[in-house]
Amino acid sequence: MEETSLRKRREDQKSTQSNEPKTTSLQKEVGLLSGICIIVGTIIGSGIFISPKAVLSNTGAVGPCLIIWAACGILATLGALCFAELGTMITKSGGEYPYLMEAFGPIPAYLFSWTSLFIIKPSSFAIICLSFSEYATAPFYAGCKPPEVVVKCLAAAAILLITMVNSLSVRLGSYVQNVFTAAKLVIVAIIIISGLVLLAQGNTKNFENSFEGTKLSVGAISLAFYNGLWAYDGWNQLNYITEELRNPFRNLPQAIIIGIPLVTGCYILMNVSYFAVMTTTELLQSQAVAVTYGDRVLYPASWVVPLFVAFSTIGAANGSCFTAGRLVYVAGREGHMLKVLSYISVKRLTPAPAIIFYGIIATIYIIPGDINSLVNYFSFAAWLFYGLTILGLIIMRFTRKDLERPIKVPIFIPVLVTLVSVVLVLAPIISEPAWEYLYCAIFMLSGIIFYYLFVHYKFGWAQKISKPITMHLQMLMEVVPPEEAPE
């Protein structure tokens, strides 16, 4: 009986590790071309279909809007190069967690883990599902805004469906991801090619006086960056492919330098395509930018655009859910969260508790939030920790000179990215304060209370509360712990 249990748990562990983002289905022989494809496929998601409107509203004109998109691509490239150095210097799992632990100690690392689990990843999931819902409902409410209750109910249904698919079967989740990734690339190609054809035909009127009406406040530019960088989100995950790359110390920086500018080019060309058809006023009034574009350019086949955009966004949401497990396992292993969150389904061999947890938190975010407020909420938290992590890279240049650095970026790059992160975090709060920043800061700092109660002092009463909860959830969900902690 004991032997059978151990075998089953070992199989569970293998299933778990196959679902973790650092090793998910990647072979040991990934070359430069494959690395570039992984980068492009990871970054292009829902952002390019929802961010153009927000970037334009914060910049006020076509010229600065396109400059912001290019600048976001440059910043993402520089940030990814810094993370490549960190990833090859500290080869531990858990994203920013081990880097913060090495540079600053357990409290900042725990706060990152806490913030990721409760703010960054669930709010990202909620944003993607809301954008799917807006595009899926747009064709049924032509010329007017879909009712908010319809959009939110459909988004909640999407979260429920994706959570169920990924909880029930790893293979089904992976298959869905492959299909929707192809759909995503098809719609990007359709918009870019049709836009280039329109430009060749002389549709350049909207690019005349392209800097007229520009907004120059630091707060507005920061909010434009928030929305633009949301479309590039995923750049910080690129060092996860290090172990699978052939000759990673050469191919990883090359894949970043080619891959992210390639995405940047796609994003700029898509925005140019939108402006070839719509004036700034029309774009800002559009309920779903790509749908309006399709109605004007591809009629009578305009139904293709909302369909493929919905596929693209649901694919991005599925990918977000599919790779949600890694940080939860690390947090569970370190004793930073309920142990049950790092358990695996006995029957399905999936990280069901972690996925269901993400689904519940994301659904809660949908109820009060809209896309723009959630993007600001997400970006504030994300860039606070991106900046802190890259600051850690600078500090370790002086405090951990003994660490081997196969990839070493010039020091001005992490300094520049850290300074930009400080501006991105502080500028919107100072110039355009909003409640979501305060809520986010309070929630992040509340993690310190949980750290001292459950991690640092490990009070007996806290353990008495958590143990029966873990036991009952384990029986209810039929889940078991992996035999060994993932490396």
The answer to the question of residue 375 being in a domain is yes
Q: What are phi and psi of 345, to 5 degrees?
A: -65, 130
For 125-150, what is the mean pLDDT?
Answer: 88
Q: What is the pLDDT of residue 201?
A: 92
In-domain check, residue 295: yes
pLDDT at 484: 57
Q: Look at residue 455 and tell me if it is in a domain.
A: yes
Q: Estimate to the nearest angstrom the gap between the alpha carbon of 47 and the chain centroid.
A: 10
Reported as a pLDDT band with limits 50, 70 and 90, residue 20 is very low
**pLDDT grade for 7, boundaries at 50, 70 and 90:** very low
Partners of 344 in the beta sheet?
A: 480
Percentage of the chain modeled with pLDDT above 70: 87
Query: Which has the closest alpha carbon to 269: 52, 88, 16, 448?
Result: 52
Q: 23: pLDDT confidence band, cut at 50, 70 and 90?
A: very low
pLDDT, tens digit, 9 for 90 and up, residues 60-106: 899 999 999 999 999 999 999 999 899 888 877 667 888 998 999 88
Instruction: Residue 196: give the domain boundaries.
Output: 28-479
For the chain, what is the mean pLDDT?
83
Q: What is the CATH number of the domain that holds 170?
A: 1.20.1740.10
Mean pLDDT for 148-175 is: 88
* pLDDT computed for residue 265 by the predictor: 93
Within a domain: 355: yes
Tens digit of each residue's pLDDT (9 = 90 or more) over 300-345: 888 888 888 888 888 888 877 776 666 666 666 667 777 787 788 8
Q: Is residue 381 part of a domain?
A: yes
Domain count, the chain: 1
Is the pLDDT assigned to residue 378 strictly greater than 80?
Answer: yes
CA separation for the pair 136, 288 (Å, rounded): 10
479 pairs with which residues across the strands?
Answer: 345
Q: Residue 21: inside a domain, yes or no?
A: no
pLDDT reported for residue 24: 33
* Whole-number Cα distances in Å, 288 to 58, 59, 180, 245, 271: 17, 19, 20, 38, 14
> What pLDDT sits at residue 241?
56
Residue 4 domain-assigned? Answer: no
Q: Rounded mean pLDDT of 54-58? A: 93
- Mean pLDDT confidence for 248-260: 84
Decide if 299 is inside a domain: yes
Residue in the structure block whose two tokens are 């060092």: 239
